[in-house]
Amino acid sequence: MSDSNASNSGSHSADEASVAQIVGEPLPHREHSLASSAAVPGGWLRLVWRTPDFILHIGLGVVSAAWLSLDSALGHRFSRYSDALIRWWIRRALKILGIRPNLVGTIPASGVLLVCNHVSWLDALLVGGHLRCRFLVKQEVGSWPIIGQLLRSAGSTFIARGANKNAAVNDNLQGFLQNGEMALIYPEATTTWGDEVSYFFPRLFKSAIAANAPVQPLAVSWGELERDGKRYRSAAPYTDDVNFIGNIRDMLMSPYTPVELRFLPAISSNGKGRDQLASETRLAIATSLGLPAQVNQKQGLDWGLLIRRLRRVPGSWKANYD
């Protein structure tokens, strides 16, 4: 699959032809109707083989979280070692789960708002294992054992949905960008099966506009497997009725899980409103993934369907994202 040869800054016209030229070859379309890769024969043997290693790594995560808490109490005197520890633990966890990431395109250096489509709780770990950036994640994730502490130590900003605290969140993101840091957001406000890119809620794009920082789309595609002529979908998607423990089990049962992180050319925020910026970013990601998207994402949008999909999001999701 060809590299997009992206640059770290720049702008483009928001029409499908120009975006298609920028992002390069579309990725294969993913079908969630396929059987999970956990159903590949030999899954229970793989689960038995990998589980002890995974449990041991969780134990190392507890020790790592304790170190990170101590470093925080000491004023981050050992931040360089803490950052290396975080990335080591994440990469090792992904390896145990059989995840094989492939990074394509130009990885941003600094001062960029990284915008990603959202499929799995593992998305943030994939980015965190390779880049030093600030994350914007759901507040409840901050209470997760080990992962919450790792994200907190990495400088994450936690958003309380329904609390209408967007002004403070945007201020935080703007401050990160103005300080030359990289920040990551998931504007879909939920996860999908990866066979679509849902509506990008535009409010958080305001931080890039205020900081005059570029927005870099990041297209994440969890790949399929093929065994004996049969196709299997990735076990990674975390949506609908998928539960956390079951999701980890299915990952451990899968032979391996390919995933591609495609860093697309950055989009200038100069002179643009948040709606336009959200639409252009969504279009670039969807086009890269070979999925449909409108130049103006609000065109033909079924708000009723979107609301029904977000019913499982606690609180007033629209107050926080729209």
Condensed to tens digits (0 to 9), the pLDDT of residues 33-76 reads 688 899 899 999 999 999 999 999 999 988 888 888 788 778 87
Q: Is residue 28 part of a domain?
A: yes
Q: Is residue 3 part of a domain?
A: no
pLDDT at 315: 37
| Mean pLDDT, residues 108-135 | 88
| Mean pLDDT, residues 96-124 | 92
Q: Is residue 118 part of a domain?
A: yes
Query: What is d(CA 13, CA 304) in angstroms, rounded to the nearest whole number?
Result: 30
| pLDDT tens profile 207-218 | 999 999 999 999
Q: Is residue 108 part of a domain?
A: yes
In the chain, the number of structural domains is 1
| pLDDT tens profile 164-199 | 556 778 888 899 899 998 999 999 888 888 888 989
| pLDDT tens profile 232-291 | 999 999 887 788 899 999 999 999 999 999 999 999 999 999 999 999 999 999 999 999
What is 32-94 written as a DSSP string? TTSPBGGGSTTHHHHHHHHHHHHHHHHHHHHHHHHHHHHHHHTTSTTHHHHHHHHHHHHHHHH
**Of 166 and 24, more confident:** 166
pLDDT at 129: 87
Q: Is residue 6 part of a domain?
A: no
Q: Is residue 1 part of a domain?
A: no
User: Which residue segment(s) compose the domain that 228 sits in?
Assistant: 16-321
